[in-house]
Amino acid sequence: MDRTILHCDCNGFYASVECALHPQYRNVPMAVCGDPESRHGIILAKNELAKAYGIKTAETVWQAKRKCPDLVLAPSHHDLYRQFSQQINAIYQQYTDLVEPFSIDESWLDVGGSYRLFGSGEKIADELRRRIRQEVKVTISVGVSFNKVFAKLGSDYKKPDATTVITRQNYTRLLWPLPAERMLFIGQVAAGKLARAGIHTIGDLARADDWLLQRLLGKGGLTAKIYAQGLDDSPVRRFDEQREVKSVGNSITFRRNLVGQRDIRAGVLSLCDTVAARLRAHKLYCQTVQVQIKSPDLRVISRQQGLSRSTNLARELFCAAMAIIERSWDMKKPIRMLTVTGTALTDQDTGEQLRLDVPSSTPDHERQQKLEQALDAIRQRYGSDSVGFGSLIESDIFHRRPDEIEPGGDRE
C-alpha cells in the first residue's frame, strides 16, 4: 500500500510573518531584506504584490527598488520566524508524529496512519491550509503524494495557498514536462551539464542513460533519475528524532572586502576557529574541508579537499582552507564573503596516513589538540569572547567578533 506524504511549504515565509504582525504591509509591495549597512542588502522574501513586479529572492535591494520604486522594505526578525515555525509545526503534529522539518518554512508529514481520524491526504492538506491561514495568519502550499520528492514538487507546483495531488496515475503528465532543475538537489550547474547533454526536463532525466548521468553528475545523477521515476522510498522521520549532523560550517559577509593575504588569513582563521569549536562540541571530526568564496560582484566558487587525517582543530582546518584558496583564487582579488565547512564527518580520529618520505605530524597535532581544548575550557568558563587568536584582535573586517556570528552563517 502506498504511503501518503505531505510537503507543506510556507509562502514567502519571512514576508508572510511580517504581514501577519503588520497588516499594513498586506496592501503594498513589500520585501524582507538584510541590512545594507552590514553589506547584507539582499531580498530575503517578498509578498505576492512585490512578486508581481518580478522581484526575486537573493537579488540586491537596489535591483529590487529599480523594478519597484515604491517597494516597502522590512528588516528581518529571525527570532520571530523561528517562533512562527515552531507554532506551525505544532499544528502539523496534531495530525501525525511523523513530521520532518526540511527548513524553517518547509516540513514533510507522513499521514498514512491518520486516515481514520482526519480523512484523506488531500482533505488533511486542505484543513492544514485553512487552520494555518486562520490561526497563524500565513499561507502554505501543500503537495500530496506517495513519496517525499514528489510531495515537494507538488507543493512547488501551484502557489500560493494551494493543494496539489501527485499520484502514480498523473505524475508523468504533471511533473515530467517540468524543467530538470525543478528536481530536488539539481542546481544550476548540474542543470547546465544536463542541458548540454540534451536532458532538459524531469521526463528526460527519468529516461536518461545511467552511464551518461553518472559521467555527468556522478552518483547524484543516478539518484536524480530514481527520484524522477518516482522510486524515492526515504522515510519521514519523527519530529523529535535526533538529526544526523552531516556538516559543520560557518560563513561571514565581512564588514569590508578582504584585500590581500593578511585580510584573507584573518577571515579564514576566524571561521576555522568557530567550525573547529562546533566540531569538538559535537565530538566529531571532519575528513574534508570545503571553502566557498563570494566576490564583490556576487560570483561564487566552491572547492574542497580531503585531509590526511580527520580533525577538529582550527589550525589544521586553517591550513587546508588556505591551501584551497591559494590554489583556486587570485589572492590580489577582493573577497566579499567566505564559508568554511567540515564535511565527511566521523566520530573518531582516524589517525595520520603515514608516508616514509614525510615526517609524522602527530606530535604537533597532539600539542595543538591540548591547546584548543584549553581554549574551549576557558571560553566555557569565562565566555566565548574571553580568549582568541591574537591576529584577530585588531582586525577591522568583522561586523562583530567571529565567535558571535550565528550558526550557519549569513542567509545569502
Q: Distance between CA 258 and CA 256 in Å, rounded?
A: 6
Q: Distance between CA 141 and CA 163 in Å, rounded?
A: 6
149 and 184 in a single domain? The answer is: no
Q: Distance between CA 148 and CA 5 in Å, rounded?
A: 6
- Total count of domains within the chain: 3
Has residue 403 been placed in a domain? Answer: no
Q: What is the mean pLDDT of residues 8-14?
A: 96
pLDDT digits (tens, 9 = 90+) for 302-347: 999 988 889 999 999 999 999 999 999 999 999 999 999 999 888 8
CA gyration radius, the chain: 24
Given a cut of 80, whether residue 393 has pLDDT beyond it is no
157 and 176 in a single domain? The answer is: no
189 and 155 in a single domain? The answer is: no
9 is in an annotated binding site: yes
Domain termination site, one of 128, 150, 168? 168
Sheet holding 43-46, edge to edge: 43-46, 30-33, 72-75
126 is in an annotated binding site: no
Percent of the chain with pLDDT over 70: 87
Has residue 188 been placed in a domain? Answer: yes
210 and 128 in a single domain? The answer is: no
Quote the Cα angle for 98-100-104, to 5°.
145
Domain termination site, one of 219, 240, 261? 240
111 and 20 in a single domain? The answer is: yes
Q: What is the CATH number of the domain that holds 228?
A: 1.10.150.20
Has residue 298 been placed in a domain? Answer: yes
pLDDT digits (tens, 9 = 90+) for 32-79: 987 766 555 789 999 999 999 999 988 888 899 999 999 999 999 999
382 and 261 in a single domain? The answer is: yes
Domain termination site, one of 124, 150, 168? 168
Distances (CA, A) of 346 to 279, 289, 324, 327, 411: 10, 13, 22, 26, 27
Has residue 406 been placed in a domain? Answer: no
The pLDDT value recorded for residue 390 is: 55
Has residue 412 been placed in a domain? Answer: no
Given a cut of 90, whether residue 188 has pLDDT beyond it is no
Q: Distance between CA 319 and CA 196 in Å, rounded?
A: 37
Q: Is 106 a catalytic residue?
A: yes
Q: Are 254 and 277 in contact (CB under 8 A)?
A: no
Q: Is the dihedral of CA 108, 112, 116, 120 positive or negative?
A: positive
Has residue 287 been placed in a domain? Answer: yes
179 and 280 in a single domain? The answer is: no
Q: What is the CATH number of the domain that holds 111?
A: 3.30.70.270
11 and 31 in a single domain? The answer is: yes
Domain region containing 324: 248-353+361-392
Which of 48, 59, 106, 244 is flagged as catalytic?
A: 106
Has residue 399 been placed in a domain? Answer: no
150 and 179 in a single domain? The answer is: no
Q: Which residues of 361-392 are buried (b: 16+ CB within 10 A; e: fewer)?
A: eeeebeebbeebeebeeebeeeeeeeebbeeb
First to last CA, the chain: 42
Instruction: Kindly state the greatest CA–CA separation across the chain.
Output: 71
10 and 66 in a single domain? The answer is: yes
Has residue 401 been placed in a domain? Answer: no
189 and 317 in a single domain? The answer is: no
| Confidence at 253, pLDDT banded by 50, 70, 90 | confident
